[in-house]
A = this chain, B = another copy of it.
Amino acid sequence: MEIILTGNDLTVEKVWAIAVEGARAEISREAEAKLEAARTLVYDLARDETPVYGFNRGVGWNKDRKIEADQIDDFNRKLIYSHSLGIAPEASEAEVRAVMAVRLNCLLQGNTGIQPAIARRYAEFLNAGIHPVIPERGSVGEADITLLSHIGLAMIGEGDVNYKERRISSAEAHKLAGLEPVKLGPKDGLAIVCSNSFSAGQAALALKELKDLADTGEIVSALALEGLNGNTSPLDPSALAARKYRGQQYSAERIRKYLEGSYIYQPDPRRPLQDPLCYRGAAHINGTLRDAVRYAEEALLTQINSTDDNPCVLTDERRMISVSNFEVTSLSTAFELLAIVLSHVSRASCYRMIKLANPELTGLPRFLSHDGGASHCFGTIQKTFTMMDTEIRLLSNPCSVDYMALAGAIEDHANNTPLVVQKLRKAIDNMKYIYGMEMMHACQAVELRKRGQELELGRGTKIAFSEFRKELKLYESDRPLSPDIRKAYEFIDGGVLLKEVRDKFL
């Protein structure tokens, strides 16, 4: 697989392809031309004596110090050194790939003035599988300069990289891959570090996972509704059209597709008039996730298809100016929103499970015990999933605004975008566990319900049920549940539902 990067049309799906699925990255011809033009301009301007931040002047509080021509190499190398400030844990190789893909695409806008060979090096690293080691903590998100520097280190042949499943020195990896380390020219140090691509790369993966979770939630909650023998009237398209919320309509439409042909569309006198809100509102709450994802994706696509460099090179206008294009509060706060919304999604899933364990609502045995209650079955597991939900709630607290004024108090705003994204990723991981457990509940309920009767599931949920049953059978006697929970998590994480259900109904 190959993705051609143009600077303008990167999507989270393309980032995922490069990062996770190992697609190659190529630079479009037009983008190459922009890189060259911008670099030429930088040299033209360098002949003048206009002070330019990070070019012939220092950075941060040192912005008033002049950089002489013979100091350029040393200045840039030391800039990389002094900005290599990350703290463990390390970003995964997939994350590093995402970061490099995003950084490269942003460079292709041609507003950086970076040496074109260095821009190409991102593609070469990606395609050769050279993945710089990047610790993931240490950036306040006002450009991730402390983390992206670790890519710079690797590019000049220092520090460590992961290469073909081994951790080796960057120097050795270069040899093995037949590459020469790059030589840093004017502005190259700053061009490498001054970007939010670290957060944006992690954010792209997070958003891809969250979109998948939104799909997953529709399938899982549909199956749970069948487990409950619940009502479909809240999914009514006319009523939702009268309501007009976009996300709600979208989620409900998907759920209706998965439920087509299900027994729950048949009248049943035992079915109560209204179900608990966690069922009645499942599509609506998932719809809120759709709405929030749409908002965050707009911000993220803007981010990964534009320039966040400072200074900004404007080739056509033959100018290079000091800007605040690294300011990503819109991105950061959109991701804060996602965590809050996820907390609603998570809580609704937990309540659906709690309700499935309640005989009064289901007509099934307490705790879905196959033997009518002699075994504990899904009693104590309520502690497990609600604890995971509580952690999501904790991670939904905002942190973007909790910064201090730095660098002589000049850097007095920040977004903490990396932390915002990282806490969301943790929440997403918890959510996969929770949906795994909801699958355990929904399948158990459906199977117990099927015992004495014919029961047709929906066209989509039928597949979901049978795929899950390949991994985990009916819980027929008390056994340690930890391994089952792990398997259910892997079932969700592995994407079977999406491949076997969602993708067939798109």
Contact = CB atoms under 8 A, between A and B. Distances in A.
Interface in A360-392: 366-367, 373-377, 379-384, 386-391
Interface in A263-284: 272-278, 280-281, 283-284
Count of chain copies = 4
A220 interface: no
Contacts of A481: 81-82, 84-85
B277 A419 contact: no
Given A78-B375, A391-B137, A481-B84, A330 B401 contact: no
A502 to B, nearest CB: 22
A239 B355 CA distance: 35
Interface stretch (A15-23, A122-130, A253-261, A286-294): A286-294
A187 interface: no
Interface in A393-407: 393-394, 396-407
B145 A413 contact: no
A175 interface: no
A264 to B, nearest CB: 14
A413 B314 contact: no
A322 interface: yes
A202 interface: no
A247 B393 CA distance: 29
A403 B390 contact: yes
Contacts of A382: 404, 406-407, 411
Given A82-B379, A233-B323, A337-B336, A413 B277 contact: yes
B404 A393 contact: no
A466 interface: no
Contacts of A181: none
B324 A280 contact: yes
Contact of A333 (B61, B78, B234, B340): B340
Interface stretch (A41-49, A204-212, A345-353, A456-464): A345-353
A366 B388 CA distance: 33
Given A278-B413, A389-B404, 6 more contacts: A53-B273, A79-B376, A111-B242, A247-B330, A291-B299, A334-B337
